[in-house]
Amino acid sequence: MKKQHLKLSDTERLYLESLLAKGRLSARQFKRATGLLELHRGKTLQAVAATLSVDYNTVALWRDNYLAQGLDGLQEAPRSGRPIVIDGTQRAQITALACSTAPSGRARWSLRLLADKVVELGYGDAISHTQVGNLLKKTKSNPT
């Protein structure tokens, strides 16, 4: 007799099947939902892993997340990473400054001048000329 790795309630099973039928899930959520349904149907962790082309440990993690969190385990967990230092408003202000007329005595803005002016105007606490260059590279402006 096969060991059933997971037992979904009828409402949970119907919910997962309806999610899969809609076709609006991300690839990761699709795999998680399919994996949970396959585990409910009695497939082994190895078989589900082979079917979905993921590692055995990944399927075990999906199962453990379901057991701990229920269907909320299908959602993406927040990922760590460096927080945004320069937000969209600051980027717009820096781009507008680069597109404005250069200071008197200068033919055009240099990246160092822009970086100094950004700090002077209070658009940010500190910014390097390299950061200004990278930011402007992503726009269609050409300050130099």
For residue 4, pLDDT over 80 is answered with no
Amino acid residing at 139? T
Q: Give the containing element (helix H, strand E) for 60.
A: helix 56-69
* Model pLDDT for residues 51-66, shown as the tens digit of each residue: 999 999 999 999 998 8
* Model pLDDT for residues 114-123, shown as the tens digit of each residue: 999 999 999 8
Round to whole Å and give the CA distance between 88 and 6.
45
- What integer pLDDT is reported at residue 1 of this predicted model? 41
Nearest CA to 142 out of 108, 92, 93 is that of: 108
Residues 134/95, Cβ–Cβ less than 8 Å: no
The pTM score is 0.57
